[in-house]
C-alpha cells in the first residue's frame, strides 16, 4: 500500500479490526519512511451496482456521492463524519440487498432523506430542498408542515433535533 503522504511503498499494519457494520476490515497503518499513520478499508468485491438516474442514464453506484451530498446538507451542523459514514454504509448495504444490479436514484435519495430526518432536521430540509428541487417557498413550507405539527403534538423537539 502506498503512503498517501509521501507515496512510499513501505508500511506496516499496526491495528486491524472489523468495521462497525462487519462488512469491512479497518486497518491502521504506519509508513516506515515518513512515520505518518493512515487508515485503509478492505471490502469484499461484489458485482457493481448501477444507479438509474431520472433521465434514464446508468452510472456506477458511488458511495462518495452519497457521503458528499450528506456532508453538504450537514455543513455547520453538529453531525460527525463518523455518523455520516455509518449512514453511507447502511444505505449502500440496503441498496445491494434490495437490488440485484440496478437501483433507481429516487430510492437512494429517499433513503438519505429518511436517515437525515432522524439525524438532524435542518440537514434533512437542506437535502430535501435540493433533492426535490423546490421551486418556491410554498413547496418548502409543505415539507416543513408535518415536522412542525409533530413537534406541536407533544414531541416538543426543536427543529435542529435537540430537546427544548
- pLDDT tens-digit series, residues 85-125: 999 999 999 998 899 899 999 999 999 999 999 999 899 98
Average pLDDT, whole number, for the chain? 87
Residue ranges covered by each domain of the chain: 10-45, 47-155
Predicted confidence band of residue 65 (pLDDT cuts 50, 70, 90): very high
Predicted confidence at residue 155, as pLDDT, reads 54
70 near 116, Cβ under 8 Å?
Answer: yes
Predicted confidence at residue 24, as pLDDT, reads 85
Matching residue, cell 446508468: 58
Task: Please state the separation of Cα 164 from the chain's center in Å.
Answer: 27
Output the CA angle 147-149-152, nearest 5 degrees: 110
112 near 131, Cβ under 8 Å?
Answer: yes
pTM of the model: 0.63
70 near 111, Cβ under 8 Å?
Answer: no
Amino acid at each position: 500500500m502506498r503512503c498517501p503522504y509521501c507515496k512510499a511503498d513501505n508500511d506496516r499494519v499496526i491495528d486491524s479490526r472489523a468495521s462497525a457494520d462487519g462488512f469491512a476490515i479497518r486497518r491502521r497503518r504506519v509508513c516506515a519512511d515518513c512515520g505518518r499513520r493512515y487508515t485503509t478499508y478492505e471490502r469484499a468485491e461484489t458485482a457493481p451496482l448501477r444507479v438509474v438516474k431520472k433521465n434514464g442514464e446508468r452510472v456506477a453506484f458511488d458511495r462518495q456521492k452519497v457521503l458528499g451530498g450528506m456532508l453538504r446538507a450537514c455543513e455547520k451542523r453538529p453531525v460527525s463524519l463518523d455518523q455520516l459514514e455509518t449512514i453511507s454504509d447502511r444505505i449502500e448495504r440496503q441498496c445491494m440487498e434490495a437490488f440485484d444490479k440496478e437501483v433507481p436514484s429516487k430510492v437512494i435519495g429517499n433513503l438519505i432523506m429518511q436517515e437525515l430526518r432522524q439525524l438532524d432536521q435542518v440537514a434533512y430540509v437542506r437535502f430535501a430542498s435540493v433533492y426535490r428541487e423546490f421551486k418556491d417557498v410554498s413547496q418548502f413550507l409543505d415539507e416543513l408542515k408535518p415536522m412542525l405539527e409533530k413537534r406541536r403534538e407533544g414531541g416538543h423537539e426543536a427543529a435542529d433535533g435537540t430537546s427544548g
